[in-house]
Amino acid sequence: MAERRVNVGWAEGLHARPASIFVRAATASGVPVTIAKADGTPVNAASMLAVLGLGAQGGEEIVLASEAEGSEAALDRLAKLVAEGLEELPETV
């Protein structure tokens, strides 16, 4: 299983707009990805309700994971998106 641990770069955490940006990127990745708080229960990263339900705060560590073949690049892009707190989807996601 591929995994990335990253701190949430959005000051407000994964709420509303940042969660929407992240979920769209996770969906666009084309591979099934889970997201969890460190040592928490993983949820579907493509589900807006699941991501909002995490309650991940700015600076808090999250874990992105996938068992899909070829998921390394997708996890790298998602980790960068989260760590940098980007305000829009990068074209490469």
Give pLDDT tens digits along the chain (93 positions): 899 999 999 999 999 999 999 999 999 999 999 999 998 999 999 999 999 999 999 999 999 999 999 899 999 999 999 999 887 665 644
Question: Could you give the angle at the alpha carbon of 71 between the alpha carbons of 57 and 93, nearest 5°?
Answer: 65
Residue 91 falls inside a structural domain: no
Residue 93 falls inside a structural domain: no
Output the pLDDT for position 86: 82
Is residue 11 classed exposed, middle or buried when 0-12, 13-18 and 19+ CB atoms within 10 A define those classes? exposed
Output the pLDDT for position 89: 60
Range of the domain at 36: 2-84
- Which pTM was predicted? 0.91
Output the pLDDT for position 81: 94
Q: Give catalytic status of residue 15 as yes or no.
A: yes
Output the pLDDT for position 90: 58
Residue 89 falls inside a structural domain: no
Q: Which of 9, 15, 43, 89 is catalytic?
A: 15
Using DSSP's 3-state secondary structure scheme, residue 76 falls into helix
Domain count, the chain: 1
Output the pLDDT for position 93: 44
CATH number at residue 11: 3.30.1340.10
Residue 53 falls inside a structural domain: yes
Using DSSP's 3-state secondary structure scheme, residue 64 falls into strand
